[in-house]
Structure 1
Amino acid sequence: MLKGIHHAAIICSDYAVSKRFYTETLGLAVLAEHYRAERDSYKLDLQLPDGSQIELFSFPDRPPRPSYPEARGLRHLAFRVDSVEAVAARLQAAGVAVEPIREDEYTGKKFTFFADPDALPLELYEQ
């Protein structure tokens, strides 16, 4: 029935800052960018190498996330990587704070967390 995740949608507070973070820092490819005047909103379609996508939206005056990261709803967004250490080092070199690398007690895989410009919790998870 379900074949995978097509996209995750993210609402940001500063479109230019978040666009730069997701395209330059994380290296996602831009598929399309639209400004919707009636909503005073941008919609940026970004793609990861496996074809999955992130829709980045800007809407004026949206409330902040209630807590980090245990608010009800989506807890975090995880990215599959070959090497958690390598990607974490690249993020740290770009000025992104990365939590200490941990090991999943059930799978033995390495993972760590970092945040986007709006403090959305993001995870690196080793494949």
Structure 2
Amino acid sequence: MSDRLRPHHVAVIASDYPRSKHFYTEVLGMSVIAETYREARQSWKLDLGMEGGVQIELFTFPNAPARPTRPEAQGLRHLAFAVDDLDAWCARLQEHGVEVEPVRVDEFTNARFTFFQDPDGLPLELYETS
């Protein structure tokens, strides 16, 4: 048994299930592991897979409150994805009509990165690792 922590999943609550499903599967290219409608909760749960085994759990709930502020509210600040080619990913997002902030360089690592948002305004980051 390993005593190391490693990421398993990140849960995201969406306001518009079809729109967010399209964004995470078609725009970001995540694969569908399982899709379940939970009648008792009037809620969808979509399990999405990424390379390395980390998953996104995409939920909907009736009347879920909006995110209070972004991105500097207490709690999860943003979700970052490692990419090999930042420019290609920026172009892909822009082809899908997703606004991408100007690319910046991390002053400590010299890695290039940028931010964009999911359909509900959740701050997402692309971080170039190669």
Instruction: Give the alignment's TM-score, normalised by structure 2.
Output: 0.96
Q: SS in structure 2 opposite 1:51?
A: coil
CA RMSD of aligned residues (A): 0.7
Q: SS in structure 2 opposite 1:35?
A: strand
Residue in structure 2 matched with residue 62 of structure 1 by the alignment: 64
Q: CA deviation at 1:114?
A: 0.2
Q: CA deviation at 1:3?
A: 3.5
Residue in structure 1 matched with residue 15 of structure 2 by the alignment: 13
Residue in structure 2 matched with residue 45 of structure 1 by the alignment: 47
Please list every run of at least 4 consecutive aligned residues from structure 1 whose deviation after the TM superposition is greater than 6 angstroms: none
Residue in structure 2 matched with residue 96 of structure 1 by the alignment: 98
Q: CA deviation at 1:5?
A: 0.5
Q: CA deviation at 1:10?
A: 0.2
Residue in structure 2 matched with residue 80 of structure 1 by the alignment: 82
Count residues in correspondence.
127
Residue in structure 1 matched with residue 114 of structure 2 by the alignment: 112
Residue in structure 1 matched with residue 6 of structure 2 by the alignment: 4
Equivalent AA in structure 2 for residue 29 of structure 1: S
Equivalent AA in structure 2 for residue 123 of structure 1: E
Structure 2 portions without partners, runs of 5+: none
Q: CA deviation at 1:83?
A: 1.1
Instruction: Give the alignment's TM-score, normalised by structure 1.
Output: 0.98
